[in-house]
Amino acid sequence: MTAFSAHAAEAELSGPKDSQAIIARGIIRVAITKFELPAFHWRDAKGELTGPEIDLARVIGRLLKVGVEFIDDCATFDAVVDAVATGRADIGLSKLSQTPYRVLRVRFSNPYLTLHQAFLFDRIFVGAQAAGRPPEETLRKFSGTIGVIAKSEYVDFAERNFPEAQITELQTWDDSVESLMNNRVDAIYRDEFEIRRVLKKNPTLNVRFGSAAFTDLKSFLSIAICDTCVRLQEFINYQIAEYQAPFSLPSLLASEAGK
């Protein structure tokens, strides 16, 4: 055992978990969703995890000089946060937005990408509600049914930002899109990237459905970090500042996985 790793092992035993404990263990455990997040993380033809989020986790591991273990059994976004909060993982990295509830449970890095929150809405519903006025006011005080992914930050966002709306939690994003197409919801709510990606994948939807981005509602996509990992948080913030290139809306939309 080297002097450095002996010191790290000592640190792990003597105080709360932080970067030294991870270095001592020789592995950083990264929680991710078990479902793919195209343009962020997915499995390639060989079944290997890939994508800019996976690359970012590997960069963090390499610079800490530890291996990376992906815990990829999280069924929901909240489950990723739970994994970090309960100590099953050291960090969580799955297009996670900061929310007040989550901030109480884990630390968050600085955002590696900030996206506007957005709607994909039924043009006829919004047009009828607007009654001849521009649609903006109807969207601000949306009173229809909003579809969001269950146990995602958008449940919280929808309740907070659109109190007059009915919120319908749907299992997956694909379910949300299908519900909109089948008139079971009047709008679906997520970040601008996902809304634009839906329209890019299926341009026919442009005729029936409109898209709106809220310039003052932002999703800060950050890495969830264990509650006691103060140094690890500093370290990750430094790395994010250096590693932002792959995370921009145009580059994500232009990437093969983002199409």
Name the residues that contact another protein, by CB under 8 A: 116, 118, 123-124, 126-128, 130-136, 139-140, 161, 192, 195-196, 199-200, 202-208, 210-217
Q: Which is nearer to another protein, 61 or 147 (CB)?
A: 147
Find the shortest distance in angstroms from Cβ 163 to another protein.
Answer: 12
CA–CA separation, 115 and 247 (whole Å): 10
Find the shortest distance in angstroms from Cβ 250 to another protein.
Answer: 9
Find the shortest distance in angstroms from Cβ 126 to another protein.
Answer: 8
Find the shortest distance in angstroms from Cβ 160 to another protein.
Answer: 10
- From residue 237, alpha-carbon distances to 57, 72, 100, 116, 143 in Å are 13, 23, 20, 21, 39
Buried b (16+ CB within 10 A) or exposed e, 3-37: eeeeebbebbeeeebbbbbbbbbeebbbbbbebbb
Q: Which is nearer to another protein, 96 or 139 (CB)?
A: 139
Radius of gyration of the chain (CA): 20
* SS3 of 194-220: HHHHHHHHCCCHHHHEEEEEEEEEEEE
Q: Which is nearer to another protein, 198 or 236 (CB)?
A: 198
CA–CA separation, 74 and 81 (whole Å): 9
Assign 143 to helix, strand or coil: coil
Assign 123 to helix, strand or coil: helix
Q: Which is nearer to another protein, 151 or 200 (CB)?
A: 200
Structure-token pair, residue 7: 């010191």
Q: Which is nearer to another protein, 47 or 203 (CB)?
A: 203
Find the shortest distance in angstroms from Cβ 128 to another protein.
Answer: 5
Q: Which is nearer to another protein, 100 or 134 (CB)?
A: 134
Distance of CA 158 to the CA centre of its chain: 16
Find the shortest distance in angstroms from Cβ 258 to another protein.
Answer: 13
Structure-token pair, residue 231: 């140094």
CA–CA separation, 92 and 29 (whole Å): 8
Find the shortest distance in angstroms from Cβ 155 to another protein.
Answer: 17
* Alpha carbons within 13 A on the beta-carbon side of 253: 15
Q: Which is nearer to another protein, 58 or 116 (CB)?
A: 116
